[in-house]
Amino acid sequence: MGCNGPVGKCDTWARRHSDETAGSDRDRNGAGQVGEKRMSLKSPPVPSRSLARWIPALGWLRSYQPGWLRGDIVAGITLAAYLLPAGIADASLASLPPEAGLYACLFSGLVFWLFCSSRHTAITVTSAISLLVGASLGEMAGGDPTRFGALAAGTALLVALIAFVAWLAKAGSIVNFISESVMVGFKCGVALFLASTQLPKLFGFKGGHGSFWERAGHFFSHLNETNSASLMLGLAALALLVLGKLFLKNRPVALFVVIGSIIAAACTGLDARGVKLLGEVPQGLPAIGLPAIHWADLNDLLPLAIACFLLGAVETAAIGRMFTAKHGGRLDANQEFLALAGANLAAALGRGFPVSGGMSQSLVNESGGARTPLSGFFAGLITLAVVLFLSGLLRYLPQPVLAAIVLVAVTGLFKVSTLRHLRRTNQTEYIVAAAALFGVLCSGLLKGVLIGAIISLVLLIRRASRPHVAQLGRIAGTRRFSDRERHPDNELIPGILIFRPESSLMYFNIEHVCDNIQEVVRSEATPPKLVVLDLSAAPYVDMHGAHALAGLADELTAAHIRLQVVEARSSVRERLRAEGVDEKLGGINRFTSVADAVESGPA
């Protein structure tokens, strides 16, 4: 059964996984003795069901169909062809040896598939996180490569811990706190920073250090040191990769470019012409264990780990949502936290660095025919074979080719069209995206992430503190009322103003609501006799909100205007009564509607 047809015909795996979970819930709720007998005959023991909730693979493997195996194997081979060059290239971005990228992809790939809820998401090292690690750990490592690697693995360990705590707290909604506009700006900034680190490698001379502006200045001032052989090789690789991206989408063009460049370097002696090669890559597995860092290092690594977690969580959730919208099923954002925790723990123990879901790799996995997350496990096995038997051949890989691979990946991060769209449609979000972009370029990647997160939270607080207060008018010929801002032809009621705050009324927004109402009341040429407050859209009122409404009622009463609250929810009515303000608000009951209050008129 393929996955390119209608959703109703192609989502067998997702439906079965969902049905098993729903069935478990029904069984736990109980459905009489007959249901209990059926459960005891056909369902696994209770501990197995509990374990399957934490490790979804234990559930869907029971219903795995042999016909899916071929698709998963082919997708795994295709995915591995993308992961290998990406792992090596991103390791260079992280200022780590190439084997660190291979280890991170290997160990995380062998674990992630067990825990993830999305069947197409591929775990990998990513350019943004790799660059963040490389730009943040240099000073802490003090020039010691061994300590740098230990700190990178320690960062992955902390990311795993943060993700596990987020899973325990069921904090799946945390990924929604980083707005898409912030991510657009951040990724554009990362793309430009990436380009400033890779262009010197493409041109064959040593790159600079520091901020984007310092690196860019170094590049332009050292163009006279360009190595022609490096540049020609890098441009050739760049051209092949771009053509492959245009005409051979979702094909492992990068792998063939890497193989071809290795053969060319080994046969023609490119290093003698000044072309820098990757160098020796250790063959075999590393010593498995906790990274050699001190307790004090964990405190210094925490900001970096939080930034890596935020990037990884947002990217992984975005990938899962995209495939869920395309193929149906259900994404469990909390479960993805557990999958990220397991993958990063495995990467840390295997001398890797932080990993997350990769967008391009996941698209390759899907287009390769993946039916279940088992394709990621097969990709991990192929990576294991390369690490054990073929890593020695990687020493001939030219650095300009790696730079070309990274530069092509930059095009997926730098979304000029999205920035233009924001500029045309929403100036506020455009300014936010620009602020995140320049935060990365001017303050560095780590501070850029934090700036983006702060901007997102400030915007969220601003929107929550300034809810819309609709002024209602009667729909002609009916007893119904709606927002006059949307429907200017709605009828005004002489001597009566009707408001509907469209938010919970709490300490941080109630002043805005009350001020808004007072402003409209004062602007009336003839003061109203009655103000009707429709609380049908306010699901919650806190203590401060209740007393602020009572204060509003006192101010209106002093101006000979009566306030009548209507259509409050039961929990809101109970809170207003508990605070002793219900009488000031006209008496709270569940029967009086807006239409009733209007027809009764000012008393």
The model's pLDDT over 411-470, given as tens digits with 9 standing for 90+, comes to 777 778 888 888 888 887 888 888 888 888 887 766 776 777 787 778 778 888 999 999
The model's pLDDT over 333-369, given as tens digits with 9 standing for 90+, comes to 889 999 999 999 999 999 999 999 987 778 778 877 7
| Residues with pLDDT less than 70, the chain | 1-50, 52, 175-178, 250, 322, 325, 409, 445-446, 449, 603
Q: How many CB atoms lie within 10 A of CB 372?
A: 24
If phi over 0 gives left and psi between -120 and 50 gives alpha, with beta otherwise, what is residue 587? left
In this structure, what DSSP letter does residue 45 have?
P
Tell me which fold the domain 469-600 belongs to.
Transcription Regulator spoIIAA (3.30.750)
The model's pLDDT over 223-278, given as tens digits with 9 standing for 90+, comes to 998 999 999 999 998 999 889 888 887 677 777 888 888 888 888 888 888 888 87
Distance CA 83, CA 258 (A): 12
3-class state of residue 505 by DSSP: strand
pTM of the model: 0.67
Q: How many CB atoms lie within 10 A of CB 517?
A: 22
Q: Which residue has the tokens 């890989």?
A: 397
Domain ranges in the chain are 7-63, 68-460, 469-600
Per-residue tokens: 348: 């840390």
Q: At 564, which helix (H) or strand (E)? A: strand 562-566
